[in-house]
Structure 1
């Protein structure tokens, strides 16, 4: 039996995109939020699917939302992972998008979170439409296809953005892929705000990539770095860390630089599928909101 569709208490009941006041609401609640946005084809249209994991002292939750036809309306499904409800760690729900049934199937019984908001391994979350798995998360892909009885989609989803709200006192860390087929990279942000000369250090795979001295005058800026053979633009804004009060965050943006210019081929050309060309037109961007806890 399917549960009614709704939005859990730890998710803002607004548009799937980050609203200007969302960081403030997250900071006041003290909850970690990881939000990933994918572009794929669902119910006959290219749409955005947003997957949000949140965690606070009382609740661990997962939310899935699908962009509506006008770009503003959204269809949502929520899953609450309460430790005393073991049966909730595996199951399915469905909702209707433009008259088409969309099903969310998950198995988190053995998921390893390692005290994090998003699981690291031993799980799957599948979004299914018209007997196709249009989006599949986790490392248990064979189990997802076998248990759902559905085939893979002919179109690969594209991860276009990721927004993370994390909390710490001085050092903030995360792991991210800058491309679907790339490797994970460890990112750390550390700020020594003691004394009169605070210093900001950003490391990628433990290698110092950005160092900003005299931060009180350079609290906003950007720098281009290399990660392996690829370029990466790094933006920072730590004004509120230095001059704010109450719940405050620093914002860091990591934007990969494409190694070659995008193709200008027209739809229907010999290059192949038009849908894949449309889906692949967005570049990935990581937004890291680092909340300081006193």
Structure 2
């Protein structure tokens, strides 16, 4: 389970950096005989492109173990390397190879790379698709207990459409998520959230339903709780505002499991705004969650 204080602070720092793209993945893995959160942050801006790896120190939240890897195109000698950390007196190695990495719009590579975090005889966390290359180079074996992805946090930018991909807590397969909105024109403002091309949520008259949540079901009957808060899209005069979305696999059963057509609507009463606007409540949810900041460029 995520810790609201540290995660919320990190999220606020990311949101404040509107000049660049940020993608953060929070894993839980066994490091130095303890379950620890490992935060992997990909950051890309006009002047910087790097990955930062932060290993949790349960004894002192203000003192983490950090490794930063620059990915600038002109630093070719940095595309493959090794760095060492010491975690509670134990050696931790970080191997990486980005020489053939392919990038698109995301600050993280799409393919042809690996980042391996190694301690003792195990690769406790392995990122990327070149897994065999990583195991061959590190000469280590997979861990007895696989690392678990706890949270994905990212910022995306657009005017009327925002796209992302998420595992939704269902293994490695990613689902396409598209958020569309219509805020101008003669009609009331509306919003659509589509998962794998199917309309999961259609919110009408956003002036009254700018905060809310629904439970939807994927095609394999996994229930997903979706939170949204698009207050600033509608009522802020800033040239760049964000809507907050959160996708969290839910143990609750949806009203129907017919390919996202059945939903348990729970957004009729918004007098108690804290019900939907509490970041601490969102961060305290158990299991995987995907936190998305959709920056609307006016």
DSSP-derived class of the 1:152 partner:
coil
DSSP-derived class of the 1:18 partner:
helix
CA displacement at 1:180 relative to structure 2:
5.5
DSSP-derived class of the 1:218 partner:
coil
Unmatched segments (≥5 aa) in structure 1: 1-14, 261-280
DSSP-derived class of the 1:287 partner:
strand
- Classify 1:47/1:173 alpha carbon distance in 2 versus 1 (closer, same or farther; 3 Å): same
Q: Distance in 2 between matches of 1:242 and 1:176?
A: 26
Superposed, which structure 2 residues align to 1:211-230 within 5 Å?
A: 211-228=202-219, 229-230=221-222
TM-score by length of 1: 0.83
What is the aligned partner in structure 1 of residue 70 from structure 2? 80
1:32 and 1:165 in contact (8 A); partners too:
yes
CA displacement at 1:66 relative to structure 2:
0.3
What is the aligned partner in structure 1 of residue 292 from structure 2? 288
CA displacement at 1:151 relative to structure 2:
1.6
Verify: 1:177 aligned to 2:167, yes or no.
yes
What is the aligned partner in structure 1 of residue 107 from structure 2? 117
What is the aligned partner in structure 1 of residue 194 from structure 2? 203
Superposed, which structure 2 residues align to 1:200-279 within 5 Å?
A: 200-228=191-219, 229-246=221-238, 247-258=240-251
- Classify 1:109/1:77 alpha carbon distance in 2 versus 1 (closer, same or farther; 3 Å): same
CA displacement at 1:26 relative to structure 2:
2.1
Verify: 1:48 aligned to 2:48, yes or no.
no
DSSP-derived class of the 2:151 partner:
strand
CA displacement at 1:282 relative to structure 2:
4.7
Q: Distance in 1 between matches of 2:252 and 2:130?
A: 31
Query: What is the root-mean-square deviation of aligned Cα atoms in Å?
Result: 1.9
Give the 4+ runs in structure 1 shifted more than 4 A.
none
Q: Distance in 2 between matches of 1:24 and 1:173?
A: 17
- Classify 1:172/1:89 alpha carbon distance in 2 versus 1 (closer, same or farther; 3 Å): same
Verify: 1:161 aligned to 2:151, yes or no.
yes
CA displacement at 1:22 relative to structure 2:
2.5
CA displacement at 1:21 relative to structure 2:
3.6
1:51 and 1:63 in contact (8 A); partners too:
yes
TM-score by length of 2: 0.82
